[in-house]
Amino acid sequence: MIATLQARIAQTYLQQLGFYSGAIDGLWGDVSQNAAETWLERTKLPPLEPAPQKDDEGFGVTNPRTMKYLATLDPKAQPAFRKFIALASAEAYRNGCDYTMISGYRTWDEQADIYRKHQDGGPHASPAGYSMHNFKIAGDFGVFKGGTYLDDGTPAQQAFAEKIHHGCGALAASCGLIWGGKWSGGSHDDPHYQIDIGHATPTDSDRARFKATGSILS
């Protein structure tokens, strides 16, 4: 567990209110979380998300769901996404929520199924072989607060989620990612991120290379 400035600030605040008696060390453990939950119960405020921590490589570690989908990506794509996760986790934490990876690599059959649902009136999706998810270099993220998925919530929750997507999306380019929220028309996709390889849509060359080598990254 690595100390963070956000955790130290929260510990100081909780200590001043009389809820926390531990060390002001920036390490967000059980004592800090219990103090925060007691304070929240007394004040009836929304649950406080734990401060994002970092792993041995200095990148953000959020929850098991994020790490599960991160592991499905091309190993060459993972460093860029790990850097983004670190920045996005901190951005979400500052707004009292969590930015969780909810999709990574998809097989062509999985993509075909999603595309069929799109044709039946569901959310926008590309055909199999035309999504960067099929090439292990794309991921989708969702906004969660207290375990609630806000992207499909009330109008107010969706508006809050949109704000978080835009705040996190602004960090994508610095990590070598393209954010789908910048796409226009039917392609607009706030939760979507992919490695910037110079073109947004897979080409015949990409499909042939992936079939031959399992990667379209150099």
**pLDDT tens-digit series, residues 68-100:** 999 999 999 999 999 999 899 889 988 989 999
Q: What's the angle, vertex CA 157, arms to CA 35 and CA 185, rounded to 5?
A: 140
**First CA to last CA distance, the chain:** 34
So what's the pLDDT on residue 43? 62
pLDDT in tens, 17-30: 788 888 998 888 88
So what's the pLDDT on residue 9? 79
Average pLDDT along the chain: 88
> What are the Cα distances from residue 206, in Å, to 136, 192, 218?
12, 19, 11
pLDDT in tens, 113-137: 999 999 998 888 899 999 999 999 9
Q: Is the pTM of this model over 0.85?
A: no
Residue 105: phi and psi, rounded to 5, are: -65, 140
Q: Does domain 53-213 have CATH number 3.40.50.300?
A: no
Stretch 46-59: mean pLDDT: 51
CB-based contacts of 80, cutoff 8 Å, min separation 6:
175, 176, 177, 195
> Does position 193 have pLDDT exceeding 80, yes or no?
yes
> CATH 3.30.1380.10 spans which residues of the chain?
53-213
So what's the pLDDT on residue 99? 93
So what's the pLDDT on residue 53? 57
